[in-house]
Chain A
């Protein structure tokens, strides 16, 4: 029964989903780290007492 289950998995699609997982997580961290650095720069450029 377990053999049937494993045979039914489309390996190509599963591997592609792992690819999406890897690049999705990497991508989201990259975007948010860039936003984080941009916020830091904004806070330096426009400190609150200038508002």
Chain B
């Protein structure tokens, strides 16, 4: 009889709280549609690891060693960086760099809107984090889940849980965070600036050479970034080469779907009550928010700076789309532009900046690894 109530008797307050948090994440995923593909597996995973003596984790019960599946998945999929890198192949296969190639100038916003990452790294060191932990926290501002996981795996494995939750939660909250941050640093008149779209054409050769070229440039400057940018661009090459449609479709669908399921569940390995319910988690969540806000502000202020010199003014909101949350950020910017002036169509520019943000965030991740290693 006592065997049957062992689990119930062994539950701690922290585990109980984490079970509620797990249910909360599932609620947010289903009811609020907050990044459901990741938050739902993470929420369920949080439940799996916080059941006392859970068989999903390595346990020694009555002298018997039980191998936990989540330990195995963590060691083989996250500690080796396999899962986030495989996701990059799928993301690369999903991205059409066409709009960016038509407006390559927008690449600059992909750089400016990474400012929040570096600002937050400094802030985190003031809060008492080590430089490596601070870097892993700052990368939440990349607005790019796999990059955050990749850097956290190298620099702060223990903080992987809160960092992932923060990264994916704030990505879901882009429609709330970005309008707030943009309005802080723009006037109504600036938000009404119209941009005439001049559609250009991009040759197939350019689209094929582009991913190879980006890998070479980024790799030669920051070799540590090769896995990140290389896998992203390999996925894009599958898409653009025109002879591997079957592989491209697999990368975009089956591969991403399978790895997303495994990644979400496995990240939850780090979400045990003991590790997750700390002041550090609250600090990380707060700093993740700051990183997102300063990314947005960085992009907008850079656009305003460029406007000093440009004849044809840029709507500064486009700069905010330089963060990596694709395509949500571009949509938010277009919605804001139309709210100010219903005849203002800046979507294509915002998408170009948003795609640039994808490249920028991965390169930022690589540079942080290179500078701090």
Q: Mark A8-30, 1 if CB is under 8 A from B, else 0.
A: 11100110111111011101111
How far apart are the CA atoms of A2 and B368 in the complex, in Å? 31
Interface residues in chain B, defined as those with a beta carbon under 8 Å from any beta carbon in chain A: 101, 104-105, 107-108, 110-111, 114-115, 117-119, 121-122, 124-126, 128, 130-131, 134-135, 200-206, 209-210, 213-214, 217-218, 221-222, 356, 359-360, 363-364, 367-368, 370-372
Q: Nearest Cβ distance between residue A23 and chain B, in whole angstroms?
A: 6
A31 lies within 8 A of chain B by Cβ: yes
Chain B residues near A33 (CB-CB < 8 A): 107-108
A-B contact count (CB 8 A): 129
Closest to A38 in B: B213
**Shortest Cβ distance from A23 into B: residue:** B371
Q: Are B110 and A32 in contact (CB under 8 A)?
A: yes
Interface assignment of A3: CB less than 8 Å from any CB of chain B? no
Complex partner residue of A20 from B114, B135, B214, CB under 8 angstroms? B135
When chains A and B are docked, how far (Å) is the Cα of A17 from the Cα of B126? 10
CB of B201 to closest CB in A, whole Å:
3
A-B contact pairs, 12 of them (CB 8 A): A13-B131, A13-B134, A17-B122, A20-B118, A23-B371, A31-B367, A32-B359, A32-B360, A35-B104, A40-B104, A42-B206, A49-B201
Whether B101 contacts A31 by the Cβ 8 Å rule is: no
In the complex the two chains form, is A20's CB within 8 Å of B121's CB? Answer: yes
Contact residue among A13, A17, A36 (Cβ-Cβ distance under 8 Å from B107): A36
Interchain CB contact under 8 A, B205 and A50:
yes
Docked Cα-Cα span, A27 to B224, in Å, equals: 13
The answer to whether A46 touches B104, judged by C-beta atoms less than 8 angstroms apart, is no
Chain B nearest Cβ from A6, distance in angstroms: 9
| Given contact pairs A46-B203, A51-B205, A9 touches B121 in the complex (Cβ within 8 A) | no
Cα–Cα, bound, A16→B126 (Å): 12
Which residue of A has the minimal Cβ distance to B135?
A20
Supplied contacts A13-B125, A19-B371, A43-B104, 18 more A-B pairs, CB within 8 Å: A13-B134, A24-B114, A24-B367, A27-B222, A27-B370, A28-B111, A28-B363, A28-B367, A30-B221, A31-B111, A31-B217, A32-B360, A35-B218, A35-B359, A40-B104, A46-B203, A46-B205, A51-B203
* B221 and A27 within 8 A (CB): yes
Question: Is the beta-carbon distance between B115 and A36 smaller than 8 angstroms?
Answer: no
Also in contact, A17 and B114, with CB within 8 A (given A23-B371, A24-B364, A24-B371): no
Query: How far is the CB of A4 from the nearest CB of chain B, in Å?
Result: 12
Q: Does A14 contact B122, Cβ atoms closer than 8 Å?
A: yes
Chain A interface, number of residues (Cβ within 8 angstroms): 35
Please tell me which one of the listed residues B115, B126, B204, B217 contacts residue A14 in the complex, with CB atoms under 8 A apart. B126
Residues of B within 8 A of A20 (CB): 118, 121-122, 131, 135, 368, 371-372
- Known contacts A8-B128, A43-B206; A27 and B217 CB within 8 A of each other: no
B132 CB to closest chain A CB (Å) equals 10
B98: min CB distance to chain A, Å: 11
Complex CA distance for A49 and B205, rounded to whole angstroms:
11
Across the interface, which residues of A come within 8 angstroms of B210, CB to CB?
39, 42
Asked, given contacts A17-B125, A23-B371, A39-B101, whether A29 binds B108 with beta carbons under 8 Å apart, the answer is: yes
A43 and B205 within 8 A (CB): no
Q: Which chain B positions have C-beta within 8 A of A23? A: 367, 371
State how many angstroms separate the Cβ of B293 from the closest Cβ of chain A.
16
CB-based contact B104/A48 at 8 Å: no
B89 nearest CB across to chain A (Å): 20
* Pick from B105, B134, B204, B209: contact of A51, CB under 8 Å: B204
